Chains A and B, each alone.
Chain A
């Protein structure tokens, strides 16, 4: 027996949900959604759960992650209840629920707090530089170590436990029995969706957006690999240098287009940007751009005279690595692909004959 909790709706508004209580359950949204299926229909039931405040059901559901926000539902809603943005808000809310530190939720709900965190990180970088007497070589040296250390720490301390929590909410708590074999057999689903976002291809009229997103993900992951493991900023190998240039250019171009979409509100997905959305695209843009210029300055041998540029890059990098990646929108990269993986587990389970 579930208790109705109307306060949840108020809470959800802080995560960006708008007007969803206007829903009168006509089901147009579900009818027009190209990803909705008979067995796994979205988004009306998620709107319903949100209106009624059925938090346990929402936490156990993977459905918010099954939506890729084409905006068709919102465009067809006769009550302008904006189901598309509600699904987005639910993803933010779920992110905050998966996060064991609770910081995620705090940052989503409070812009001042987010800005304070960004400021503190920038100050730390400045203090670190002062400590090192603005010695470029030393700073770059530690900067490189910071990248490696941050990746490992964020993954082990924040992201891995969060994925386990997600697993607990959607598989263990609802007592869905999955055999070990199924876990291994379905791992392909995780990899494919992580690197391709294949599912979003099924959204109508969304092919170009998918392509942009695809090359952005690939470009970002490869730049990460190039800078961290191939040490791009110190590389002498021409291939590595050119590779880094290409990758950072890709990031620059795609993120500019994404930012423009949000400014012009030309697509449904960009109409209701939350601070977390702005931070994500802008910092990704800054990351790619500053990396690009750092390497340009290295190649022109003028970085020593423009150490501020590297410090700016390091600041952006630090803010990205310790705020946006663990607690911000970056996590959707992981949760979306794991959601597809867990969904596959549930699906296999339901379809396996019980002996």
Chain B
């Protein structure tokens, strides 16, 4: 019980003292039990007052301090620091808010305001009497980071972490690295292609021996918390041991009788059950798609390096932080959306990107040479009725860039852009300018009057009431209609459910604070980056990857973590394990333990946030919250309820 308490009552210029009689407050609390010092001050936060407080605490050996001033959000940290400077533990400080909660709220009733201020300060004094010195909780943190997804964000984050001296496990579900960016050929405002950028990153990545790359790998389970995550990783084999003798592997691919749609090319071409996506791809060893392989054995006759009996491997990984970089899927239009899947020359932007990459000299689709291309924007984004209300950010720029590339690569191309307003922000505006100079036609409509794609006598017609031409009805005959599809979260996103990562309304993973904590999640130790968080272009994905890498590194760099000591504590003897606390805990911090004699609840100190949700549900009152014990709260209530 602290009995040498100093109380400071702040005027806040006049913000408080204009409505609250601070002298009267001082007099009223000066006689409270344990108060040995009561002062008023014009600005409690002023340097001079802080110095005075430090001297008071030192000279009078105060063991409890209260400042009655503004919101604790503003200055609690300031005054905790003051007590620390004076050699008093910062948890022996209690903040009383008599500005936001009193003077500003009751400017119409000065006597009432003063009355309320007295009660609030008395409650703070009541709490500080019970205050105890607390030390931060120190937990060990495993110096390693697991990165989920080896796309451009994951690869860049891995390199960044390795450069900082941190061991990295880079875990990729697919058999090849590079994710979506490897699928794009020409990238806007960059002279390098997606493949070149990925190759460059891969070369850099393999130079670091602290990076362990797993392909064909999926996380089957996880346990633990910040600083101490345990992951079980299931690694599928490639079924090929090493490169075959000269060209043998290609012959093996050629004889494979299984023909499948090639997802790398968004199903506009086919592949075999033995495949690689493109010749210079990394890792360079092809892979057998065991889901579709019919084990006919034709390939085995040609190449001895193929071994269809390889088994899955299960690895345990121990890391201090997890960095999510699982990327996105392109939106798949529903059947009949702008003729998709009903008119045979309606394709999506990713398909078109693969198409112009695969074609040389002449642009051919469905055996027909393409001259007139209609691009319909905002398909799957900014939906008037669907769930995707967001803008996918990358699509205007990419479409215009691809339209420009198509013009350069093929002859006599006419581009018609059916937009809902062009958003080529920043430097990307120059691409828009270039396309206008090229003679690309831009038409625009609102969301309530979208363009219509119809098939008339074998011709594909796109119609629009163009708001840039006084809503005049206009049409073109298109050889190819490209639906500019936005980004959506991965369809197979079970990894998010495994980690219980919260999602936003857009179904992408959610950060804690869009502006101030953009890569942290509510699961301590798990950061997010790249397009798994929401639509991003390459630049933006890299920015967030570097940011998440730095954040994840901060969790593991010291090998230990200091955590706030205000957490729930369970009295083992009183606990009867009913499970009520574990059910309400929003952080999954309570688990059952059995010492052979009884079952009881245990708090994971690293995960508990001290929210107090478990306290009221405990039937035996076995849980107490540090710094908010029952005696503290009850004495505060008594003080507030006093006449």
B474-A45 in contact (CB<8A): no
How many whole Å from A25's CB to the nearest CB in chain B? 5
Partner of B469, one of A1, A19, A52: A52
How many whole Å from B475's CB to the nearest CB in chain A? 5
A2-B468 in contact (CB<8A): no
B522 contacts the other chain (CB 8 A)? no
Closest to A25 in B: B468
A275 contacts the other chain (CB 8 A)? no
B393-425 residues at the A interface, CB under 8 angstroms: 414, 416, 422
A49-B469 in contact (CB<8A): yes
Given the known A-B contacts A9-B439, A24-B436, A48-B469, are A2 and B475 also in contact in the complex, defined by CB atoms under 8 Å? yes
B436-A79 in contact (CB<8A): yes
B side interface size, CB within 8 A: 24
B300 contacts the other chain (CB 8 A)? no
Closest to A5 in B: B476
How many whole Å from A2's CB to the nearest CB in chain B? 5
| Chain A residues whose C-beta falls within 8 Å of the C-beta of B470 in the assembled complex | 45
B436-A4 in contact (CB<8A): no
Binary interface encoding of chain A residues 13-27 relative to chain B, with 1 for a CB under 8 A from any of its CBs, else 0: 000000101111100
B437-A19 in contact (CB<8A): yes
A145, B440: Cα distance in complex, Å: 55
A301 contacts the other chain (CB 8 A)? no
Binary interface encoding of chain B residues 418-458 relative to chain A, with 1 for a CB under 8 A from any of its CBs, else 0: 00001000000000110011111110100000000000000
A1-B475 in contact (CB<8A): yes
Given the known A-B contacts A22-B437, A24-B432, A51-B441, are A3 and B414 also in contact in the complex, defined by CB atoms under 8 Å? no
B468-509 residues at the A interface, CB under 8 angstroms: 468-470, 472-477
B382 contacts the other chain (CB 8 A)? no
A6 contacts the other chain (CB 8 A)? yes
B439-A21 in contact (CB<8A): yes
| Chain A residues whose C-beta falls within 8 Å of the C-beta of B440 in the assembled complex | 21
B469-A3 in contact (CB<8A): no
B436-A3 in contact (CB<8A): no
B463 contacts the other chain (CB 8 A)? yes
Q: Which of B438, B441, B477 lies at the interface centre, i.e. has the most chain A CB atoms within 10 A of its CB?
A: B441
A29-53 residues at the B interface, CB under 8 angstroms: 45, 48-49, 51-52
A24, B437: Cα distance in complex, Å: 11
B463-A4 in contact (CB<8A): no
How many whole Å from B261's CB to the nearest CB in chain A? 34
A2-B474 in contact (CB<8A): yes
| Chain B residues whose C-beta falls within 8 Å of the C-beta of A51 in the assembled complex | 441
B474-A1 in contact (CB<8A): yes
A25, B421: Cα distance in complex, Å: 11
A58, B477: Cα distance in complex, Å: 21
Binary interface encoding of chain B residues 297-324 relative to chain A, with 1 for a CB under 8 A from any of its CBs, else 0: 0000000000000000000000000000
| Chain A residues whose C-beta falls within 8 Å of the C-beta of B474 in the assembled complex | 1-4, 52
| Chain B residues whose C-beta falls within 8 Å of the C-beta of A24 in the assembled complex | 422, 432, 436, 442
How many whole Å from A49's CB to the nearest CB in chain B? 7
A49, B441: Cα distance in complex, Å: 11
B436-A23 in contact (CB<8A): yes
A265, B16: Cα distance in complex, Å: 70
A side interface size, CB within 8 A: 20
A48-107 residues at the B interface, CB under 8 angstroms: 48-49, 51-52, 54, 79
A124, B473: Cα distance in complex, Å: 53
B432-A21 in contact (CB<8A): no
B475-A4 in contact (CB<8A): yes
| Chain A residues whose C-beta falls within 8 Å of the C-beta of B441 in the assembled complex | 4, 6, 51-52
Given the known A-B contacts A48-B469, A49-B469, A52-B441, are A22 and B475 also in contact in the complex, defined by CB atoms under 8 Å? no
| Chain B residues whose C-beta falls within 8 Å of the C-beta of A45 in the assembled complex | 469-470
A22-B472 in contact (CB<8A): no
A21, B477: Cα distance in complex, Å: 20
| Chain A residues whose C-beta falls within 8 Å of the C-beta of B468 in the assembled complex | 25, 48
A6-B437 in contact (CB<8A): no
A286, B432: Cα distance in complex, Å: 47
| Chain A residues whose C-beta falls within 8 Å of the C-beta of B432 in the assembled complex | 24
How many whole Å from A3's CB to the nearest CB in chain B? 6
Closest to A9 in B: B439
Binary interface encoding of chain B residues 123-147 relative to chain A, with 1 for a CB under 8 A from any of its CBs, else 0: 0000000000000000000000000
| Chain B residues whose C-beta falls within 8 Å of the C-beta of A49 in the assembled complex | 469
A73, B426: Cα distance in complex, Å: 26
| Chain B residues whose C-beta falls within 8 Å of the C-beta of A23 in the assembled complex | 436
A165, B437: Cα distance in complex, Å: 34
Closest to B475 in A: A1
A51, B469: Cα distance in complex, Å: 10
B473-A1 in contact (CB<8A): yes
| Chain A residues whose C-beta falls within 8 Å of the C-beta of B439 in the assembled complex | 6, 9-10, 21
Binary interface encoding of chain A residues 294-326 relative to chain B, with 1 for a CB under 8 A from any of its CBs, else 0: 000000000000000000000000000000000
Partner of A4, one of B433, B437, B444, B476: B476
A314, B473: Cα distance in complex, Å: 54
B475-A3 in contact (CB<8A): yes
How many whole Å from A29's CB to the nearest CB in chain B? 14
A21, B442: Cα distance in complex, Å: 10
Closest to A10 in B: B439
| Chain A residues whose C-beta falls within 8 Å of the C-beta of B442 in the assembled complex | 24-25
A308, B476: Cα distance in complex, Å: 60
B433-A79 in contact (CB<8A): yes
B473-A21 in contact (CB<8A): no
B472-A6 in contact (CB<8A): no
B437-A21 in contact (CB<8A): yes
A22, B477: Cα distance in complex, Å: 23
| Chain B residues whose C-beta falls within 8 Å of the C-beta of A48 in the assembled complex | 468-469
A337, B291: Cα distance in complex, Å: 79
A343, B475: Cα distance in complex, Å: 29
Partner of B472, one of A2, A9, A21, A25: A2
How many whole Å from B390's CB to the nearest CB in chain A? 24
Partner of A6, one of B414, B436, B444: B414
A79, B438: Cα distance in complex, Å: 14
A3-B476 in contact (CB<8A): yes
Closest to A57 in B: B472
How many whole Å from A93's CB to the nearest CB in chain B? 17
A45, B469: Cα distance in complex, Å: 7
A45, B463: Cα distance in complex, Å: 19
A21, B473: Cα distance in complex, Å: 20
A19, B436: Cα distance in complex, Å: 9
| Chain A residues whose C-beta falls within 8 Å of the C-beta of B472 in the assembled complex | 2, 54
How many whole Å from A114's CB to the nearest CB in chain B? 27
Closest to A19 in B: B437
How many whole Å from A341's CB to the nearest CB in chain B? 25
Closest to B470 in A: A45
A51, B474: Cα distance in complex, Å: 13
How many whole Å from B57's CB to the nearest CB in chain A? 64
A4-B416 in contact (CB<8A): yes
Closest to A3 in B: B475
How many whole Å from A27's CB to the nearest CB in chain B? 10
How many whole Å from B229's CB to the nearest CB in chain A? 51
Closest to B474 in A: A2
B433-A22 in contact (CB<8A): yes
How many whole Å from A5's CB to the nearest CB in chain B? 9
A19, B437: Cα distance in complex, Å: 7
| Chain A residues whose C-beta falls within 8 Å of the C-beta of B473 in the assembled complex | 1-2
Besides A2-B472, A2-B474, A25-B468, 12 other CB < 8 A contacts? A1-B463, A1-B473, A2-B475, A4-B441, A6-B439, A19-B437, A21-B436, A21-B437, A45-B470, A52-B469, A52-B474, A54-B472
Return 25 A-B CB contacts under 8 Å, by A number: A1-B463, A1-B473, A1-B475, A2-B473, A3-B475, A3-B476, A3-B477, A6-B414, A6-B439, A9-B439, A10-B439, A19-B437, A21-B436, A21-B438, A22-B436, A22-B437, A23-B436, A24-B442, A25-B442, A25-B468, A45-B469, A48-B469, A52-B441, A54-B469, A54-B472
- A interface vs B, CB < 8 Å? 1-4, 6, 9-10, 19, 21-25, 45, 48-49, 51-52, 54, 79
Closest 9 CB pairs of A and B: A22-B436, A25-B468, A21-B439, A4-B476, A48-B469, A2-B474, A1-B473, A1-B475, A6-B414
